[in-house]
Amino acid sequence: MEDPVKILEKWISAESYIVVGKDISRVDALDKIFGRAMFTEDYFVDYMIGNALFIKQVLSTYPHAKIKGIDYKKALEVPGVVRVITAHDIPGENQVGYAIPDQPLLAEGKIRYPGEVIALIAAVDFEKAFKASEEVLVHYEPLPYVLDPLEAMRRNDILVHDERGSNIAFTTRVRKGNIEEGFSKAHVIVENEYRLHHQEHAYLETEAALAIPESEGRVTVIGTIQYPHLGQRIVSRVLGVPASRVKIVAPYIGGGFGGKDDEGPLVCAKAALVAYLTGKPAFLIYSREDSIRIHPKREAAIIRYKSGADVNGKLTAIDVTIIHDTGAYANRAPFILWRATMHASGSYEVPHAKVDGYAVYTNKVYQGSFRGFGNLSIQFAAERQMDLLAERLGLDPVEFRLRNILKEGSYTITNQLLDHSVGVAETLKKVAENADWWKKREEYKKFNEASQRFKRGIGVAIGWHGISTSRAVPDWSNAYVKVELDGSVVVYTGIVEMGQGSPVSSHAQIVAEALGVPLEFIRVVQGSTEAPDSGATHASRGTGIGGIGVLVAATKIRERLTQLASRILNVDPGEIEFRDGRVYWRRNPEMGLSWRELVREAYARGIELSATGYFFLPKGKFDDTIGQGFAYPAYSYIVLIAEVEVDTWTGDIRVLRVYPGLAAGKIINPKQVEGQIEGAVVQAIGYTLMEKLYFDDKGNIVNTNFTDYVIPTAKDIPEIYKPVFVEDKYRYGAFGAKGVGEMAMIPGPASIVNAVAFALGVNITFTPLTPWSVLELIGVLKGRCST
Amino acid sequence: MKVKFILNGKPVELDVDPRETLIDTLRLRLKVKSVKRGCERGECGSCTVLINGNPVVSCILLTIQINGAEITTVEGLVGDILLEKLAKNFIDNGAIQCGFCTPGILLTAYAGIKQGKIKKSEDVKEYVNNLCRCTGYVKIIEAIAKTANEVWGHER
């Protein structure tokens, strides 16, 4: 059996599992505890000191300016400086734009945001590189600049990209049914403008790369990157060498959350460029300040949302405009915007929908991937609207959601039929019961009537998130598995471990299930371009999709060994079991042999024990001009109910309790999934209550450190209850798994803000809810501090 | 400048630039890789080491300031009973994700428990102020509280 679809079916329909669905401890835990797990800077520490060059980046200090010249004579005079590299030195192409070819690796002709990289200094130590960076004189001709996306949309006299003739980088649209007809049937209509802000990833490990030149013009780069094969393509383009000469290795990564999907290839390309041009190993590590200034952020969004519902509490129409502050470069803006556009309805049936999306250039740091990928901001708007419509209809928010919720047989606003794997309704019901929703709504109403200073609230929000790439954008799973003569197993994958427990643990778990061998027998070689292109570690796809190739390859090997064991034991191949490092006859487990013996036999008898596993995700057609058709292969769903307490004297909000529920197909490792939910909930609390990037009037980010950009600490966390799992298996996922990593981030802000709005009895259309803005909301302060 | 200290039980003597930070001395000269570079401003705690048993961030400390001190990192606590307990509870409880903050948090918790400053769950939130961006702290707090309970015998 070599057909991947049949292999997937076989595993999804298995009656029981050995290790899948169990709380397996991480295989990398001990190494991480004792500092033995190697992160990028650790490779530098190991063998490069005194041999490698340090790189310092020269950043632009203007938001928008022509570069009239770069004078670095004085920088070269600093002792120990080996080379200064600008756009002119790039041997290949200086073009690294992800979706649109609009972005240079090193600024060329003009700069478009403060923090844009203009030159690279290579010196024998960091101090000398730093000193030299201050001796680089960039002659600017400042240009008028635009920071506000609404202004940028209107103006054609200031263009971030002159050649494009407009600041609108990209547009999207959905047209379903007829919204006039839909709104005419509405009993209540709610209309709001929502404002969502940037978010900094704040992974504790900043971006870094070590590039090592090798023979035959090859280069190896060890770097903080979420998609090594994308890094390989970009490095090869910048250097002008074939991809086969470029090897990228992602070691352990100290947090990614999407940020290292965007910046990873660029940090690798910059280090590779220096190594290639100087012939020496080159190391680049971003300071925290540089990291915050340079790398892309979660999109800031303006969302105009009008929605209506009829007397029966059914949604009739939505009319939505989404404007993303894209910043200086498009990067992934089209994909982020498409995701927002296609998810604009929330996880509900809406018969008539009109959605328009605009990605707009401004002279600020550009937007990129961040856990949720355009979906957090749109679900915030959609889920606020649901609460407001419910209130107008006099319906309970949970009840109103249940009347409209997606189920098997529903059509989305892209008119995609959801034919299976839609467990959201059941999840919502269970989470509401868990949280004692109806009782607490009443309790807190009474509490708030009696309490002057403190107000309590409980709020619900749902997130849905298409897994894999959108529309007909190809997606595949790919891995290589080999069994050594001693029975140990090695897995090769390009999926990277950045904290989520995949692939180092989850892929080992998949192999342990497929071959019945102990986890100690298995090693996962992760994040390497030496593995087949496994796609990126993003979009919550590492285990559910990334794991398919591993499962397929391991199953091919299992099938070959089953045939062999059946011949040796002289029993039916359908009655062979693989378990606990043994292969035996199910009817009489005494009859069998050890895994190791069987492997030796296979080697002796000429049976191939290495295999690749490949699966190309089946997708459908999509019409970009009207946003209709097949949007995603399947959707994961999450429900969060949050309880808050607001101190109306100080404006301080505390999230007290969060109840999560997840419908993400088969849960392969419940403990790791809990960790993903808890981590995302706390990131969402940060986004909703404290995290905000402040820009000055020239587009500089003002708060470039953790004193001024405040992320949650252990003191800020609520009680997070055990999640409810509704295992709505997806037919093309490994064991029926969908995606998990991003999920709790998506409805996190909406659930908290819905609770705060309930507590205070006010409408809230923005984040973050800092103490100042809360005091403004309730009228204690007026116009003292803009939000 | 000459500086002498004890690192994980072994005497070290070095000639360092007076401007050199302890994190650089530890990582770049002594190859102590558990000490992680997160912010270089004393904000995140990833570079925490124990100096005479107390948790201190090594990124804003000059190496010459620790002359004569005893420095401990997780590398020096392999086989230590309290650290092994912490490690076991971290692993069993799923308290590790990317692992970048882990050594620093373990050292902070180690000192807190050893000195009796962490005896129960609420103490963890007061004492452990290292940043973690992955876990949401829930499982970390549980693992540390469980260890403290094993050592100090308080309930919960």
Cα dihedral: A153, A154, A160, A166 (round 10): 80
Cα dihedral: B134, B138, B144, B147 (round 10): -130
- List the CATH number of the domain containing A115: 3.90.1170.50
Check: CB of residue A454 under 8 Å from CB of residue A646: yes
Beta strands in A267-418 (DSSP E): 282-285, 300-309, 315-327, 352-361
Q: How far apart, in whole angstroms, are the C-alpha atoms of residue A267 and residue A214?
A: 19
Q: How far apart, in whole angstroms, are the C-alpha atoms of residue A684 and residue A681?
A: 5
Mark yes or no for CB contact A720/B136 under 8 Å.
yes
At residue B154, does pLDDT exceed 90? no
Lowest pLDDT segment from A33-47, A146-160, A551-565, B106-120 = A33-47
Nearest CA in chain B to A289: B39
A-chain residues near B102 (CB < 8 A): 32-33
Each residue's pLDDT tens digit, A473-487: 899 999 999 999 999
Each residue's pLDDT tens digit, A714-741: 999 999 999 999 999 999 999 999 999 9
**Structure ipTM over 0.90, yes or no:** yes
Categorize the per-residue pLDDT at B153 as very low, low, confident or very high, splitting at 50, 70 and 90: confident
Q: Which of B36, B78, B97, B156 is the best substitution to test chain A (most A C-beta atoms within 10 A)?
A: B97
Q: How far apart, in whole angstroms, are the C-alpha atoms of residue A302 and residue A437?
A: 31
Each residue's pLDDT tens digit, A146-160: 999 999 999 999 999
At residue A1, does pLDDT exceed 70? no
B-chain residues near A202 (CB < 8 A): 133
Q: Residue A786 has what pLDDT? A: 45
Each residue's pLDDT tens digit, A523-542: 999 999 999 999 999 999 99
* A648 plus A747 within the same structural domain: yes
Q: Which of B23, B47, B100, B156 is the best substitution to test chain A (most A C-beta atoms within 10 A)?
A: B100
Check: CB of residue A613 under 8 Å from CB of residue A550: yes
Mark yes or no for CB contact B101/A30 under 8 Å.
no
DSSP string, A440-453: HHHHHHHHHHH-SS
Of A237, A261, A285, at which residue does a domain stop?
A285
Q: Which of B33, B73, B94 sits opposite A42 (nearest CB)?
A: B33
* A692 plus A746 within the same structural domain: yes
B-chain residues near A30 (CB < 8 A): 87, 91
Close Cβ partners of A617 (under 8 Å, ≥ 6 residues apart): A468, A474, A475, A476, A477, A545, A633, A732
List beta partners, residue A348. Answer: A405
Angstroms from B4 CA to nearest CA on chain A: 22
Categorize the per-residue pLDDT at A785 as very low, low, confident or very high, splitting at 50, 70 and 90: very low
Nearest CA in chain A to B104: A33
B-chain residues near A501 (CB < 8 A): 97
* A53 plus A91 within the same structural domain: yes
Whether A529 is covered by a domain: the verdict is yes
Write the DSSP symbol of residue A64.
S
HSE on the CB side for B112, CA within 13 Å? 26
At residue A7, does pLDDT exceed 80? yes
* A121 plus A267 within the same structural domain: yes
Q: Which of B74, B87, B94 sits opposite A674 (nearest CB)?
A: B94
Q: Residue A781 has what pLDDT? A: 67
What is the phi/psi pair of residue A276, to 5°?
-65, -40
Mark yes or no for CB contact A711/B39 under 8 Å.
no
Angstroms from A39 CA to nearest CA on chain B: 8
Domain B79-151 has CATH 1.10.1580.10: no
- List the CATH number of the domain containing A757: 3.30.365.10
Angstroms from A428 CA to nearest CA on chain B: 23
B-chain residues near A204 (CB < 8 A): 36, 38-39, 44, 46, 98, 100-101, 131-133
At residue A87, does pLDDT exceed 50? yes
* A243 plus A116 within the same structural domain: yes
Mark yes or no for CB contact A34/B40 under 8 Å.
no
Helices (H), chain B: 22-24, 81-93, 102-114, 121-127, 138-152
Q: How many CB pairs under 8 A join A and B?
A: 167
* A26 plus A50 within the same structural domain: no
Query: For residue B139, how far is the Cα from the chain centroid?
Result: 18
List beta partners, residue A281. Answer: none
Residues of chain B with CATH 1.10.150.120: 79-151
Check: CB of residue A482 under 8 Å from CB of residue A555: no
Q: How far apart, in whole angstroms, are the C-alpha atoms of residue B51 and residue B80?
A: 17
Mark yes or no for CB contact B125/A714 under 8 Å.
yes
Q: Residue A472 has what pLDDT? A: 86
Q: Which of A255, A707, A720 sits opposite B133 (nearest CB)?
A: A255
Q: Residue B156 has what pLDDT? A: 46
List beta partners, residue A69. Answer: A139
Q: How far apart, in whole angstroms, are the C-alpha atoms of residue A300 and residue A314?
A: 30
* A15 plus A74 within the same structural domain: no
> Smallest Cα–Cα separation from A463: which of A398, A395, A358, A377?
A377
Q: Residue A787 has what pLDDT? A: 43
Residues of chain B with CATH 3.10.20.30: 2-76
B-chain residues near A500 (CB < 8 A): 97
- Cα separation values, B75 from A35, B30, B35, B88, B104, Å: 7, 12, 10, 16, 12
Residue A119, SS3?
strand
What is the phi/psi pair of residue B38, to 5°?
-110, -45
Stretch A134-155: mean pLDDT, rounded? Answer: 98
Q: How far apart, in whole angstroms, are the C-alpha atoms of residue B53 and residue A410?
A: 61
Write the DSSP symbol of residue B25.
I
Burial class (CB in 10 A: 0-12, 13-18, 19+), A698: middle
* A24 plus A117 within the same structural domain: no
Nearest CA in chain B to A292: B39
Stretch A496-521: mean pLDDT, rounded? Answer: 95
Nearest CA in chain B to A251: B98
- Cα separation values, A442 from A343, A436, A439, A447, A459, Å: 32, 11, 5, 9, 13
Residue A212, SS3?
strand
* A28 plus A47 within the same structural domain: no
A-chain residues near B73 (CB < 8 A): 35
* A687 plus A612 within the same structural domain: no
Burial class (CB in 10 A: 0-12, 13-18, 19+), A189: middle
Q: How far apart, in whole angstroms, are the C-alpha atoms of residue A169 and residue A65?
A: 20
Of A285, A311, A332, at which residue does a domain stop?
A285
B-chain residues near A683 (CB < 8 A): 133, 136
Q: How open is the CA angle A669-A477-A248, to the nearest 5 degrees?
A: 95
Nearest CA in chain A to B135: A679
At residue A36, does pLDDT exceed 70? yes
Q: How far apart, in whole angstroms, are the C-alpha atoms of residue A636 and residue A687?
A: 22
Nearest CA in chain B to A708: B43
HSE on the CB side for B3, CA within 13 Å? 23
Each residue's pLDDT tens digit, A612-623: 999 999 999 999
Query: For residue A356, how far is the Cα from the chain centroid?
Result: 23
Each residue's pLDDT tens digit, A265-284: 999 999 999 999 999 999 99
At residue A186, does pLDDT exceed 80? yes
> How many domains is chain A built from?
3
Stretch A302-325: mean pLDDT, rounded? Answer: 98
Nearest CA in chain B to A705: B39
Residue A358, SS3?
strand
Mark yes or no for CB contact A29/B91 under 8 Å.
yes
Which domain, by its residues, includes A254?
Answer: 40-143+213-285
Write the DSSP symbol of residue B28.
I
Whether A362 is covered by a domain: the verdict is no
* A408 plus A538 within the same structural domain: no
* A677 plus A720 within the same structural domain: yes
Q: How far apart, in whole angstroms, are the C-alpha atoms of residue B48 and residue B52?
A: 13
Whether A172 is covered by a domain: the verdict is no
Whether A309 is covered by a domain: the verdict is no
Sign of torsion, CA A282 A288 A293 A294? Answer: positive
B-chain residues near A260 (CB < 8 A): none
* Average pLDDT value over all residues in chain A: 96
Whether A665 is covered by a domain: the verdict is yes
Mark yes or no for CB contact A499/B97 under 8 Å.
yes
Q: Which of B32, B94, B136 sits opposite A672 (nearest CB)?
A: B94
The token pair at A474 is: 């190809």
Whether A335 is covered by a domain: the verdict is no
A-chain residues near B125 (CB < 8 A): 714-715
Mark yes or no for CB contact A205/B103 under 8 Å.
no
Whether A532 is covered by a domain: the verdict is yes
End-to-end CA distance of chain A: 60
Domain B2-76 has CATH 3.90.226.10: no
